[in-house]
Amino acid sequence: WVGLGAGEFKIQFLDTLRDLVEGPEGEKFKVRVARLHSLRATHLHNEYLQTLVEFGVLGLLIVELFFVWCQCRAYRFILGSENSGDSILRIGFLSGVWAGFGGSLFDYPFHRPAQVFLLAVLLGIAIALPNRWEKGETARPRGLWLSGIGILLGVALAVVSVFLMWQANAKYVAQRLGFWGKTSLEIAGGDPGRAYQALATAQDLVPGEGEYTLWLAYYYLAAKGDPNLAIRQIRRARETSDNPNRVMLEATAQLQRNDYLTAGQLLQFVGILEPNKVGLQFLKGRLFEKQQRWKEAARAYLAEIQNSRRTGERSPHLEESYLHLAGILEKQLGQYEEAARYYKGFLETLGDRKPTYPEARLRLGDLSLNRFYDLESAERYYNEALEILKDQGAEQDAGEVEKILEDIQNRKERFR
């Protein structure tokens, strides 16, 4: 009934979101979370919902009753006024207030001092007492003069109100399209083509919003595999976006085009500004791996894993960090037990989810068979991998695994 309290939404937002994602029904919420514009929310993009969350039903009811009282007072003066200019002027001022109320469905103008001051002035003028000082022969020409001013101001405010409503609606539509396009690129089974159309439309509707330009760059990078077009979009976004992920995205694109010098400079820049940035160590690991600096790559991947554990902020590259680290330890550094440990760590991070390709299980099966000589563990990992391969329709790979399982059975028979 009384809500969370003023300013509590932004404080409790991340904790509540984390509880939902990590709860027993977390899988149902992960796609919804992916649609969020930002995980650092400070306000809901709806003033009425914001009031309801922070001040409860009672707070929202008090605010709505105040607005209704103001409207009734303004209507009474408009209908009872003998001066048409005064009525038209009040209607013009009220149209500005209505624009603010309408925009509150998609934004939070009452949380911005400049906007709330303007709305308060417009509302105050609209409900102020009528002017009753005009008497005698000067009343009529003065009334005509005021009527003309009132008509002009009323028309101007009506035009401004329509423009503000259109702008708010365009921003709302762009946000919805942007969220949908972003989600389609992130989740499995999304449609990159439709995602591109949605992001391009959002960019056209709100050309000054650099976030959509960045997501177009992500589309060119992830879906089209064209780092040059991605970099062009990223540099275009420099003028309209201060998103810190912009530099990280450009570093990823430079890595794809094998420009290791530029990628290293960008990552060094991010490291100076935000040394604990999520994903930074993973990209450093990718850079070192491409340069065949295996020990440095392993340290970077390990740092990404440890940062995720220490901060509690799950890295989107956590699973990849486990796989890359385990692969380097196994194939380049010959540390087989440590490699097996991180392959198992990768499986633990997946939980009940199944990967599209059973890389970790295949490597654990190979290590168990050829390095640790543990036939039981090898058979178990290969059987799990075989199940995933059959589910994915990878018949050729499944056939290879079946041959290995037959060999394991033969070895077990010989040892009996």
Alpha helices, DSSP H, located in 104-225: 113-126, 139-186, 192-205, 210-222
Q: What is the pLDDT of residues 261-293, one digit of tens each?
A: 999 999 988 888 788 888 999 999 999 999 999
Distances (CA, A) of 241 to 107, 172, 318: 19, 18, 27
Q: Single out the residue of 229, 244, 242 nearest to residue 275, CA to CA.
A: 244
**Sole residue written with tokens 């650099």:** 210
N-terminal to C-terminal alpha carbon distance within the chain: 72
Give the model's pLDDT for residue 69: 79
Q: How far is 233 from 215, CA to CA, in rounded Å? A: 9
From the CB of residue 228, how many other CB atoms can be counted at a distance below 10 Å?
10
Q: How far is 352 from 219, CA to CA, in rounded Å? A: 29
Confidence label for 31 from pLDDT (cuts 50, 70 and 90): low
Q: How far is 280 from 382, CA to CA, in rounded Å? A: 34
Q: How far is 51 from 66, CA to CA, in rounded Å? A: 14
208-222, 315-329, 358-372: range with lowest mean pLDDT:
208-222
Q: What is the pLDDT of residues 147-174, one digit of tens each?
A: 566 567 667 766 776 776 677 677 777 7
Q: What are the extents of the domains in the chain? A: 8-130+144-167
Q: How far is 365 from 113, CA to CA, in rounded Å? A: 63
User: Letter for the amino acid at 113?
Assistant: P
Q: What is the pLDDT of residues 79-109, one digit of tens each?
A: 666 666 667 777 777 777 777 777 777 666 6
Give the model's pLDDT for residue 133: 46
* More reliable by pLDDT, 161 or 391: 391
Q: How far is 227 from 209, CA to CA, in rounded Å? A: 22
Give the model's pLDDT for residue 136: 47
Strand runs labelled E in 259-410: none
Q: Single out the residue of 256, 236, 249, 240 nearest to residue 182, CA to CA.
A: 249
**Stated pTM of the model:** 0.61
* More reliable by pLDDT, 213 or 46: 213
Q: How far is 192 from 186, CA to CA, in rounded Å? A: 10
